[in-house]
Amino acid sequence: MLTRRLLIAATVTLAFASHAVAQDKSIVVASTTSTQDSGLFGHILPMFKARTGIDVKVVAQGTGQALDTGRRGDADVVFVHAKPAEEKFVSEGFGVKRYPVMYNDFILIGPKSDPARIKGSKDIVAALSAIKAKAADFISRGDKSGTHQAELNLWKVAGIDIAKDKGAWYKEIGQGMGAALNTASASNAYVLADRGTWLSFKNRGDLVISVEGDKRLFNQYGVMLVNPEKHPSVKKDLSQQFIDWLISAEGQKAIAGYKINGEQLFYPNASDSGA
């Protein structure tokens, strides 16, 4: 009788353990607000789950915050868009390997009234110089995101020390891309945005694209597994399946297939090892 009870108890314990494992077939991905706000994850994650049964829980943050989340071991995967910061993350041992996934571009958004007289320009450096010269309102994310880092670099290329030269016209909000666009819309200000979020943004008001097409506005995304040797809690196998799917022909096709009003938001380029 005792043996039978022990057997039943062991079977029940095993069943609960198996159920827990089945329930825990999920990973945490720290990613940018642009991949979330643009709707990309809403498009591709159901396809990934249908293929693998793996749930992906997205923590949408600025790139700097997402990388810090990975450094703490609070995510299994980091999917962001600031290549130098990504390479540093790997070189410091926090990430295993960086894989290029896709790209789009940044665009400078501004009011139709165009106080800086830059609409239609393809020269982002000249446009930023004009904005400063006219003291036209500009919204900065100010959140150490990939977009914020790109913005700061563009001011630098324009020969402007924005930390020293900013005035009341330059407003840092410390928030994501959607919030920055909403603030720009409410105040008729200029703002640097990724094209994906802009295309999915509904509250445009009097905002339009002011500058696009400059090669300096290229925006590359990369994905990395958080190093399980630093953080044993990282779900290495499940996470690698996600990365492998993103860079596979199926994943790349899913990314290319995401469109709004017929316009493609992201362009897959996992095959470009230098991206």
Which of 217, 238, 259 is at the close of a domain?
A: 217
Taking the C-alpha atoms of residue 72 and residue 212, their distance in angstroms, rounded to an integer, is 37
Whether 274 is in a domain gets the answer: no
Q: What is the model's pLDDT at position 10?
A: 45
Whether 233 is in a domain gets the answer: yes
Q: Are residues 123 and 205 in the same domain?
A: yes
pTM for the model stands at: 0.84
Q: Are residues 87 and 148 in the same domain?
A: no
Taking the C-alpha atoms of residue 65 and residue 200, their distance in angstroms, rounded to an integer, is 23
Taking the C-alpha atoms of residue 256 and residue 40, their distance in angstroms, rounded to an integer, is 10
Whether 89 is in a domain gets the answer: yes
Q: Are residues 124 and 206 in the same domain?
A: yes
Q: What is the model's pLDDT at position 208?
A: 97
Which of 199, 217, 235 is at the close of a domain?
A: 217
Q: Are residues 49 and 97 in the same domain?
A: yes
Q: Are residues 8 and 93 in the same domain?
A: yes
Q: What is the model's pLDDT at position 12?
A: 43
Q: Are residues 151 and 197 in the same domain?
A: yes
Whether 193 is in a domain gets the answer: yes
Q: What is the model's pLDDT at position 37?
A: 87
CA atoms within 13 A on the CB side of 70: 35
Range of the domain at 209: 105-217
What's the domain count of the chain?
Answer: 2
Q: Are residues 211 and 138 in the same domain?
A: yes
- Residues 89, 224: contact at Cβ < 8 Å? yes
Q: Are residues 114 and 134 in the same domain?
A: yes
Per-residue pLDDT of the chain (275 residues; tens, 9 = 90+): 545 454 444 444 444 444 444 457 999 999 998 899 899 999 999 999 999 999 999 999 989 999 999 999 999 999 999 999 999 999 999 999 999 999 999 999 999 999 999 999 999 999 999 999 999 999 999 998 899 999 999 999 999 999 999 999 999 999 989 999 999 999 999 999 999 899 989 899 999 999 999 999 999 999 999 999 999 999 999 999 999 999 999 999 999 999 998 999 999 999 998 88
Residue 186: CATH number of its domain = 3.40.190.10
The H-assigned helical ranges of 24-145 are 33-37, 40-52, 63-71, 83-91, 124-134
Whether 163 is in a domain gets the answer: yes
Whether 273 is in a domain gets the answer: no
Residue 216 corresponds to which tokens in the numbers above? 């300096």
Q: What is the model's pLDDT at position 6?
A: 45
Q: Are residues 209 and 128 in the same domain?
A: yes
Q: What is the model's pLDDT at position 23?
A: 52
Taking the C-alpha atoms of residue 184 and residue 211, their distance in angstroms, rounded to an integer, is 15
Whether 261 is in a domain gets the answer: yes
**What are the Cα distances from residue 148, in Å, to 11, 34, 153, 167?**
54, 12, 9, 18
Whether 132 is in a domain gets the answer: yes
Q: Are residues 121 and 200 in the same domain?
A: yes
Q: Are residues 228 and 177 in the same domain?
A: no
Q: Are residues 134 and 64 in the same domain?
A: no
The values of phi and psi at residue 247, to 5°, are: -95, 0
Residue 90 corresponds to which tokens in the numbers above? 């790997």
